[in-house]
A and B are shown apart, each in its own frame.
Chain A
């Protein structure tokens, strides 16, 4: 009995001593909250692992916090409780909210400067970086997983309709002609689209170099108001509504739900995010191809560039300087050409730096995987004031309003002009509220 007691005491003492040894060299932990699940979640984990293994001072700890809106709400709640993570992945529609926050975030350029890391804004692809850059040219958040709008089509369906499967329709006139042929060959859904607000209004406006909102689509400040009920956008939505009446365009739902209709082969042509490429490659049972978003040939200045989707990484304020240095080191690691090129090829997301794009091109990746450069080609051009991106407050709700009004068009209850006018009116109420809530 006494021996047992002595052994237990000895074991206890040993157990107490061991952690002391480990404590001596613990790397500084950097908390990273993200919304990437499935294979993308593995990508995130591998990025953190790569960084952690490349140096001993810092350890990035990625935590999956749910979908984009769930994790943004969690991050904000944590910030209010004084417990924010070091890095937050926030989707593009949350950019205005993050930027308008007073003192809640540390801009990327600042954290890199204070962390002693080299940071050259010009090395980033303009259309990708400009979305997250302030009007004075300073980058506020680090683009992480950026996709853009592309056009997909089913090559087998094209062949069956007597169309050349290698000739993608480049203008809207060609899209309509192809849809008529597809319908004649028996297709019940020649054309559909996912993310209708993004593909048919936001990216559409930038692609044709027409404004989506005033004040340079919101880059000029919170006094911006919506302008997507201009003549070109009304014409386009009315065209789609007319196509719908003829059975050439079929509405398949909000968000990315319609992707399933294309992937299953129901719909022959669709528009959506370039990040769907990975899924298509693995699952589609037909030959498919990607091509740039269609444009109206009679519009001067088209095609310009498309608008990115996806998310960026924000560094949260109120953290100790040592941790901020770690964040800067991690951002530098993520921006290095090798890591960027590998990420781009693994996920289908856009490369963020020109160097990464050139590295990928040199390796022959685009030749071996046709269609993967479509997204990039749309983005490497210089941007104009109307095509840099969109920065509007309460944008998630504005997208919901756009969805609601467009559905009124698709169900025949409103004309395109009525719906877009109402959407602009309702959206402007939200923008006015955002302006009031974020002034001073």
Chain B
């Protein structure tokens, strides 16, 4: 029977008072804009707000009858799955290696954490300059090797470019958490398994990974949100949704339409995206959390 440590407040209003500042921040920076987006998605107005009219679900109907918007669902899913899976497996691999290193470990850790300090927009421009078919140095080498790299006209190349840029950014974040998670696994367990004759690969699968499951679960949520929402600057800098609409993920289209001052349409898109993410998170908590060993 676990003994729970609980903090009991004797006063009735003190807890609310202490929570109030955070509550205000959430109300102002989340609920208010979200409510406004919801409201605007049900209206039709000009950019200056001069003539506003109520149109109900017309904006959503317009989205549903746009084949390009529906195609962007598929593009977003493919992109997000690639980013989450690649991002987490690569950083897990690096974390396991970094965990075993004894000499120079802080150097490796610093170098691997460094990319996180780069803002996504800069990351997008960075990778664009390396891989741009006209002026990129890496694309120059690829052409010299005979590989016809052209992210301007080849959809697969363009998708590869944004996936690489997005994953590169997130590796540092995931790496940090995995490293901490690995460090919290008692060394005695691993040593015991080693004494019993288990090889490193088996030790990883049967001991380390299950004990890392809280971290994995947490990171899947964070990476999904990142892939869905925070990758706009990368797509904007690197491919602008091209060629055609093959890298036009939902958040890119949404922000582009907002900047083009099509406010009601982009509000509707943001409501749809929010609902999708809420659904994804609910599914995760309901089904995946069962498998987590705390």
Binding site for B on A (CB under 8 A): 69-70, 72-73, 76, 79-80, 94, 97, 100-104, 251-254, 257-258, 260-261, 264, 266, 394, 396-397, 400, 403-405, 407-408, 410-411, 413, 426, 429-430, 433, 436-440
Contacts and interface: CB of A to CB of B under 8 A. Distances in A.
27 contacts: A69-B259, A76-B47, A79-B49, A80-B48, A101-B50, A102-B46, A102-B51, A104-B48, A251-B153, A253-B132, A253-B134, A254-B242, A260-B135, A261-B134, A396-B259, A397-B256, A397-B257, A403-B240, A404-B241, A404-B245, A405-B244, A410-B153, A411-B244, A426-B68, A433-B62, A437-B44, A437-B45
A438 B265 contact: no
Contact of A404 (B45, B47, B242): B242
Nearest to A69: B259
A333 to B, nearest CB: 28
Contacts of B66: 429
A76 B53 CA distance: 18
A218 to B, nearest CB: 16
B48 A79 contact: yes
B260 A394 contact: yes
A97 B261 contact: yes
B62 A437 contact: no
Contacts, number: 101
B44 A436 contact: yes
A75 to B, nearest CB: 10
Interface in B245-259: 245, 248, 256-259
B230 interface: no
A178 to B, nearest CB: 21
B62 A72 contact: no
A253 B241 contact: no
A102 B49 CA distance: 9
A407 B243 contact: yes
A154 B77 CA distance: 45
Contact of A413 (B134, B244, B256): B244
A73 B261 CA distance: 7
Contacts of A257: 134
Contacts of A397: 256-257, 260, 262
Q: Which of B53, B153, B241, B258 has most chain A Cβ within 10 Å?
A: B153
B154 interface: yes
B80 interface: no
Closest 5 CB pairs of A and B: A102-B50, A396-B260, A411-B153, A407-B243, A101-B48
A327 B155 CA distance: 49
B86 interface: no
A204 B259 CA distance: 27
Interface in B51-93: 51, 53, 62, 66, 68
Contact of B154 (A103, A254, A411): A411
Contacts of B261: 72-73, 76, 94, 97, 396
A400 B254 CA distance: 13
Interface in B3-59: 44-51, 53
A102 B134 contact: no
A407 B48 contact: no
Interface in B106-140: 132, 134-135
Q: How large is the interface on B (under 10, 10 to 19, 20 to 34, 35 or more residues)?
A: 35 or more
A102 B245 contact: no
A73 B259 contact: yes
B244 A80 contact: no
Contacts of A254: 240, 242
A111 B153 CA distance: 48
Given A69-B259, A76-B261, A260-B135, A97 B47 contact: yes
A101 B244 contact: no
Contacts of B257: 397
A11 B49 CA distance: 50
Contacts of A396: 259-261
B72 to A, nearest CB: 12
B135 A394 contact: no
Contacts of A394: 260, 262
A252 B260 contact: no
Nearest to B45: A437
B244 A404 contact: yes
A390 to B, nearest CB: 16
Nearest to B135: A260
Contact of A433 (B53, B152, B241, B265): B265
B172 interface: no
A264 B135 contact: yes
A253 B154 CA distance: 12
A56 to B, nearest CB: 34
A405 B68 CA distance: 11
A383 B53 CA distance: 38
B134 A407 contact: no
A258 B45 CA distance: 36
Q: Which of B244, B248, B262 has most chain A Cβ within 10 Å?
A: B244
Q: Which of B45, B47, B240, B245 has most chain A Cβ within 10 Å?
A: B47
A395 to B, nearest CB: 8
A254 B135 CA distance: 14
A261 B44 CA distance: 42
Contacts of B264: 437
Contacts of A264: 135
B50 A253 contact: no
Given A394-B260, A411-B155, A430-B262, 20 more contacts: A69-B259, A73-B259, A76-B48, A80-B48, A104-B48, A258-B134, A266-B134, A397-B262, A400-B260, A404-B245, A404-B248, A405-B244, A407-B152, A407-B153, A407-B243, A407-B244, A408-B243, A410-B153, A433-B62, A437-B264
